[in-house]
Amino acid sequence: MTDREAMEEAIRDVVAAARAGEPVEWPHPMGPLTRPIRIHEEVLNEARALRKDLGYKLNVVLLAAMTRWMKKER
């Protein structure tokens, strides 16, 4: 799985969970320097829409998506 595929799956998962009313941990963004990952525009737009609905910054939504994805059992 590429970084892009993982990030897109993570974003779709957190968007679906938040819209379904499931509890989502919204972490405080901090830590090491960021690294750019290209993702499809439609997935980024989903994250932006969720950010707008919740009032969080985009980096919080993306970090929540990544941490939720890493904690999931596969």
> What does the pLDDT look like over 26-49, one tens digit per residue?
988 777 677 788 999 999 999 999
Q: Which structure tokens are listed for 14?
A: 């957190």
21 residue type, one letter: G
The pTM score is: 0.81
pLDDT at 7: 92
70 to 2, 14, 26, 73: CA distances (angstroms): 14, 12, 14, 8
How far does Cα 20 stand from its chain's mean position? 15
Q: Which structure tokens are listed for 52?
A: 């707008």
